[in-house]
């Protein structure tokens, strides 16, 4: 099947070889944090000292880089899913990245990025809410932003801004053609 080398890699007498093989397989699909790999090795029954030795070596050669992982994660999740810094911080912590590496990665997202992302999410979701009253739309849009980690003040301000523009007929190209509400609706 895998030949003598694969057999040696899975030799229960050599826990470091087993740990190396497990880590390399795990890193094939996507980058992982040191903590994710440590948890995987623990679940697989790799002794702690062998796991630490392999993880240290992988860190030395650059196969594990929590700071790079955090930067890539923040860039991807903020742009792709529109997550706020609070949600991104929680995701990084769950993956074993916290402290300085997480904060440096989160520094890539400033207040304006976060506001623009929130606005984009509201504008996109607003199109599906044209049949509901303003209060219902407001509640749903603020709830959507809250689930993505936005604070209540920013969420309310962005939703109000988008709904007011729609009601006033402001020529925002992202809202063109969408029905608005009268000022007395909300």
Query: Of 75, 41, 76, which is closest to residue 58 (Cα–Cα)?
Result: 41
pLDDT per residue, tens digit, the chain (186 aa), is 444 444 344 455 689 999 999 999 999 989 999 999 999 999 999 999 999 999 999 999 999 999 999 999 999 999 889 999 999 999 999 999 989 999 999 999 999 999 999 999 999 999 888 889 999 999 999 999 999 999 999 999 999 999 999 888 755 444 444 444 444 444
Cβ of 103: how many Cβ atoms within 10 Å?
A: 14
pTM of the model: 0.77
What was the pLDDT predicted at 136? 94
Query: If we measure between CA atoms, which residue out of 91, 71, 97 comes closest to residue 148?
Result: 91
CA separation, residue 105 to residues 40, 90, 108, 130, 179 (Å): 24, 13, 6, 37, 39
pLDDT value of residue 88: 96
The pLDDT value recorded for residue 180 is 45
């Amino acid at each position: 099947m895998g030949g003598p080398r694969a057999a040696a890699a899975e030799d229960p007498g050599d826990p470091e070889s087993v740990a190396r093989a497990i880590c390399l397989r795990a890193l094939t699909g996507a980058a992982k944090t040191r903590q994710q790999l440590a948890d995987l090795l623990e679940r697989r029954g790799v002794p702690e000292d062998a796991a630490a030795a392999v993880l240290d070596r992988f860190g030395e050669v650059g196969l594990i880089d929590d700071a790079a992982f955090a930067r890539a994660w923040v860039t991807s999740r903020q742009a792709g899913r529109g997550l706020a810094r609070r949600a991104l911080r929680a995701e990084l912590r769950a993956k074993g990245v916290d402290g300085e590496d997480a904060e440096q990665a989160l520094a890539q997202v400033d207040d304006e990025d976060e506001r623009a992302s929130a606005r984009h999410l509201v504008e996109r979701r607003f199109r599906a809410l044209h049949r509901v009253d303003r209060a219902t739309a407001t509640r749903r849009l603020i709830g959507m932003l809250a689930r993505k980690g936005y604070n209540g003040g920013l969420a309310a301000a962005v939703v109000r801004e988008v709904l007011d523009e729609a009601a006033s007929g402001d020529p925002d190209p992202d809202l063109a053609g969408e029905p608005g509400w009268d000022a007395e609706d909300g």
